[in-house]
A and B are shown apart, each in its own frame.
Chain A
Amino acid sequence: MTIPCCGPKCSGFCAFISVWGIIMLAVLGAFFYVHAPSLAEDLPINMPLWRKQDYNYNYVKDLYRKAAVNCWIAAGIYVATFILSCIMLKINLRQSNSS
């Protein structure tokens, strides 16, 4: 078929990282969505802006939701990466079998 852009080890490694990324980012997104307080320090809170809003909790809730969506979209991109690396793996296997 086509020339693989990375060898068997690289594609295997990419596949593994992609799987980890999918699972972990999906779970992380879920935790952001339920407003987990452990993740509060990871939010991009703009303190002066929040003070102006008189520390309204809805600001934080909005940030949580945005972070959750970000994580899920990143998980989706990792799904694409996973499919790509699986294809690379298959090409590599076929090449090593035929040669």
Chain B
Amino acid sequence: MGSLYRSEEMASCQLFLQAEAAYACVSELGELGLVQFRDLNPDVNAFQRKFVNEVRRCEEMERKLRFLEKEIRKDEIPMLDTGDNPDAPAPREMIDLEATFEKLENEMKEVNANAEALKRNYLDLTELKHILRKTQTFFDEAMSDQGMTEESIVLLGEEAVKTSGQPLRLGFVAGVILRERIPPFERMLWRACRGNVFLRQTEILTPLEDPVTGDRVHKSVFIIFFQGDQLKSRVKKICEGFRATLYPCPETQAERREMSLGVTTRIEDLNTILSQTQDHRHRVLVAAAKDIKVWFIKVRKIKAVYHTLNMLNLDVTQKCLISECWCPIRDLEKIQMALRRGTERSGGSVPSILNRMETKEQPPTYNCTNKFTKVFQDIVDSYGVAGYREVNPAPFTIVSFPFLFSLMFGDAGHGTLMLLAAIAMVVFEKRILRQKSDNEIWNMFFDGRYIILLMGAFSLYAGLMYNDIFSKSINIFGSVWHPTSGEFSAEIIKTHKDLTLDPTNDTDYRGVPYPFGMDPAWQLSLNKIKWLNSFKMKISIIFGVGQMFFGVVLSLQNHRFFKDSISIFCEFLPQVIFLTCIFGYLIVLILHKWIAIDATDAGCAPSLLIGLINMFLLNYPEEPCSSRVPPGQKGLQSFLLILIILCVPWLLVLKPYILKRRYQATQQKSSSRLGTSTEDGKSAEDAIDGAIQDDSHGQYEEELNLLEIVVHQCIHTIEYCLGCISHTASYLRLWALSLAHAELSEVLWNMVFRVALKVDGYLGVISIYILFTPWACLTIAILLLMEALSAFLHTLRLHWIEFQSKFYKGDGYLFDPFSFDKIIESRADEV
């Protein structure tokens, strides 16, 4: 594990891989996950790359696997996830895999097609069976009276008379149609055949299964009687139009009975065949389900390796693949070993070569994190990835983030609940990780379990300091306010509504403060908020200025590391002096007010804010308490004011001036070199070489854009100076949110739980039992979820803006290594 203080040292390397060993080496590097390949063929189309065929084959395999997975899911067969991580298989194995998948896919397709055909057959036979049964009744009616029914006489009256008086031979068609289509079907028949056809229909009670969609539909049996061929063709056309299926129905009853028996036996046979087909399908799918996850991983690994191989360049001799990559210097050994393993596995004779290159490009930022530090690094990276080898704010965030959070969330009860929830998540983390939930919000909370743990622990401590447990204070050490019965006799207590305890005499106040945290007596006092406000505001300022000062010191570390001595003198020094003279002095005043001023001087206690403003206005009014002012204060404040005013032009002007002078000096040097050697042709080359050499050394020799530097420095100065003041005020949110939290907690208790406690007698038991649950739910919802989220957000803002603006450039890019684990995890989220 590297250090988290700065990002890892990266090296740009060239990789020479033998063509046969390339696949194995890249797959070994993928398992290792420490190398970021650069795309050496950025302008090449995806379809023109070298390994496009292999990638295409991989995509085919993936498609087949997805099809299989869909079928498995349709049948609700559980897919085994052994957590196995198979290596990327060799290219020879790829052909075997392809053959297996092809066979499985074809089998499945065949089985599905067969099943569909069988089902269609089954449907036809079932409909025929229904027809045969129902038409029985129709024919009975038709034959029972040799004369027609009323309707048919009216319909066919004329023609019936015209023919020779024999009973009419009616033709008929029988079929099945969807129940919804019967009314329009009837109407159409009536209109088209001019009322000369006769329709009887009856419903099929059981719904039939549609073979294609698998839906259950209701159908009806119909029979149409007509006479003559013209009507027959018309009727057939209409039936076709309405997608009614017609079946040949024998006329005599005996034939129908025979057919019915035949149909029943065929239906039974079909049923057996169908169930056997389903069994076979199930067996095939179960066998596939055992291996499908492993196959997915293998195919994805192959595809990833070929994508990477596509980024490599082919050598002139066509025997060797070249690639450029970034890798951490610390892990070069591991990478060499991986390459050796890869070459051995592929049976190649020539070893692969890793060659370090010098490059001017900014390397990627790589921070080694473990499961604990990962979340803090993510918080920092969300704002901006650190520049290469810049000081990383993450290790400091591990402590300062929960600390500032706890200042705003300080309630021991809520802190305990948060701590318990986080401990539960951490203790069961292996089990929860195995379950791989899909819920985004739960995943967000689970990923942050360590930060929640720390926030809960710190909040528990802060709650004890604020002496606030679910809005009540507890008295552990004995309150130091103890009004004696001498001064506060029973008469005084009974007649006065409000009484004031005086801290200056010895009767009310023991003289020694409560040893740990806030005295519990404050909870019962009316001026609790006024007192706590003053206290919390002051400590917010102290912690805020402390964090900002620490940020400026970190910028010094950055300047020293990048050997930027101008910045130390022209930026760091004035920044520190500015910050210390205003706010360092304010902190001194705060501490002085706390330590030196007693309750006896309460009337003359110096106002900090007014005092600071007066310092800038050089306004020292003659007031009754002016005798309290320490003797040298006026002189000291004037001196500090002069320093502050000097810092601004120091910060603004000095750096551009020095840069300009340096640039002019180098210009003179190079022009004098050119000037003296133009006579000699050879030394002209030397001069040009010298100029080129100077160019490669740094930015000074470039066209110095003075305007840009001045504007940049101007912005930086204004940002810093105004920022100091506004950020210090911004830290007062530590006080504001803690006040809001305390008030919310108190209001919730007063309005919900106190109602239960105020109920007298045994009804109180019921009311406490009933009202506890809503109080608990509201505590979780409002105070634990909403307030914690709010405090989290404000702490984040304080870190990102107030702290990091003092030193953080954040202009880097993340190290994105070629790693199988990352690819498989990200794909698992997709699918």
Stretch from B598-606, B683-691, B768-776 contacting the other chain: B768-776
Contact A21 B776 (CB under 8 A): yes
In the complex, A39 has a CB within 8 A of chain B: yes
Name which of B475, B490, B764, B768 has the most chain A CB atoms within 10 A of its CB.
B768
Is A89 an interface residue, CB under 8 A from the partner? no
For chain B, what secondary structure do more than half of its interface residues adopt (helix, strand, loop), or is it mixed? helix
B494 at the A/B interface (Cβ < 8 Å)?
yes
**In whole Å, how far is A11's beta carbon from the nearest beta carbon of chain B?**
14
Query: Are A37 and B760 in contact, with the CB atoms below 8 A?
Result: no
Q: Are B773 and A17 in contact (CB under 8 A)?
A: yes
Contacts of B753 in A (CB 8 A): 42
Query: Which residues of A sit under 8 angstroms from B266, Cβ to Cβ?
Result: none
Q: Find out whether the CB atom of B768 lies under 8 angstroms from the CB atom of A38.
A: no
User: CB-defined interface of A24-52 with B at 8 Å, one 1/0 digit per residue?
Assistant: 11000001000011111111100000000
> B772 near A44 (CB under 8 angstroms)?
no
Q: How far is the CB of B244 from chain A (nearest CB, A)?
A: 43
Q: How far is the CB of B785 from chain A (nearest CB, A)?
A: 14
A17 touches B524 (CB 8 A): no
Q: A70 within 8 Å of B by Cβ?
A: yes
Distance of A39 from chain B, by nearest CB (Å): 7
Most buried by B among A42, A70, A71, A74: A70
Q: How far is the CA of A55 from the CA of B492 in the complex (A)?
A: 12
Min Cβ gap B78→A in Å is 14
> Are A77's CB and B776's CB within 8 A?
no
Which of chain B's residues 738-771 have a Cβ closer than 8 Å to chain A? 753-754, 757-762, 764-765, 768-769
**B148 at the binding interface (Cβ < 8 Å):** no
Q: CB-CB < 8 A to A17: which residues of B?
A: 772-773, 776-777
Kindly state the separation between the CA atoms of A50 and B764 in the bound complex, as whole angstroms: 20
Tell whether, in the assembled complex, residue A70 and residue B764 are in contact, meaning their CB atoms are under 8 Å apart. Answer: yes
Q: What is the CB-to-nearest-CB distance from B435 to chain A, in angstroms, rounded to a whole number?
A: 14
Q: How far is the CB of B284 from chain A (nearest CB, A)?
A: 26
Q: Which of B474, B493, B765 has a CB less than 8 Å from the CB of A74?
A: B765
**Is A84 located at the chain interface by the 8 A CB criterion?**
no
Q: Which residues of B contact A54 (CB under 8 A)?
A: 494
Are B754 and A42 touching (Cβ within 8 A)? yes
Q: Which residues of A contact B520 (CB under 8 A)?
A: 37-38
Name the residue in A20, A25, A31, A40 with the highest tally of chain B Cβ atoms < 10 Å from its Cβ: A20
Known: A17-B773, A70-B764, A78-B769. A38 touches B524 (CB 8 A): yes
Task: Provide the residues of chain A in CB contact with B290, threshold 8 Å.
Answer: none
Closest-CB distance, B621 to chain A (whole angstroms): 44
Which residues of A sit under 8 angstroms from B494, Cβ to Cβ?
54-55
Which of B475, B524, B772 is within 8 Å of A25, CB to CB? B772
Given A20-B776, A38-B472, A55-B494, the answer on whether A25 and B768 have CB atoms closer than 8 Å is yes
A15 in contact (CB, < 8 A): no
Give the CA-CA distance A37 to B479 in the complex, in Å. 11
Q: Which of A65-99 contact B (CB under 8 A)?
A: 66-67, 70-71, 73-74, 77-78
Shortest distance from the beta carbon of B472 to any chain A beta carbon, whole Å: 5
Q: Are B758 and A42 in contact (CB under 8 A)?
A: yes
Q: Shortest CB–CB separation between residue A21 and chain B, in angstroms?
A: 5
Interface size for A (C-beta < 8 A) is: 25
Contact status B475-A38, CB under 8 Å: yes
Q: How far is the CB of B193 from chain A (nearest CB, A)?
A: 57
A25 to B765 Cα, complex, angstroms: 11
CB contact between B764 and one of A38, A41, A67, A77 (< 8 Å): that residue: A67
Residues of A within 8 A of B759 (CB): 44
Kindly supply a per-residue 1/0 record for chain A positions 47-63, scoring 1 wherever the CB is within 8 Å of any chain B CB and 0 otherwise: 00000001100000000
- B100-124 toward A: CB 8 Å interface, digit per residue (1/0)? 0000000000000000000000000
Task: Return chain A residues, CB-CB under 8 Å to B762.
Answer: 70
A38 touches B474 (CB 8 A): yes
The answer to whether A71 touches B754, judged by C-beta atoms less than 8 angstroms apart, is: no
B126: CB under 8 A from chain A?
A: no
Closest to B471 in A: A38
Complex contacts, B474 vs chain A, CB 8 Å: 31, 36, 38
- Within the assembled complex, what's the spacing in Å between the Cα atoms of A79 and B470? 22
- In the complex, what residue of chain A is closest to B413 when comparing beta carbons? A24
Whether the pair B524, A43 counts as a contact (CB closer than 8 A) is: no
A73 and B475 in contact (CB under 8 A), knowing A44-B758, A55-B494? no
Instruction: Report which of B472, B524, B768, B777 forms a contact with A70, defined as CB distance below 8 A.
Output: B768
Contact of B769 among A40, A41, A74 (CB under 8 A): A74
In the assembled complex, the CB of B518 is this many whole angstroms from the nearest CB of chain A, namely: 12
For A67, the closest partner residue in chain B by CB is B757
A70 to B764, CA, bound (A): 6
Tell me whether B768 and A71 are in contact (CB under 8 A): yes
6 pairs of residues in contact across A and B, judged by CB atoms under 8 Å: A17-B777, A39-B472, A41-B524, A43-B758, A67-B757, A70-B757
Extra contacts, 19 of them, besides A44-B764, A54-B494, A67-B757 (Cβ < 8 A), are: A21-B773, A24-B772, A25-B768, A25-B772, A31-B474, A38-B473, A38-B474, A38-B524, A43-B757, A44-B759, A44-B760, A55-B490, A70-B757, A70-B762, A70-B765, A70-B768, A71-B768, A74-B765, A77-B769
Residues of B at the A interface (CB closer than 8 Å) are 470, 472-475, 490, 493-494, 520, 523-524, 753-754, 757-762, 764-765, 768-769, 772-773, 776-777
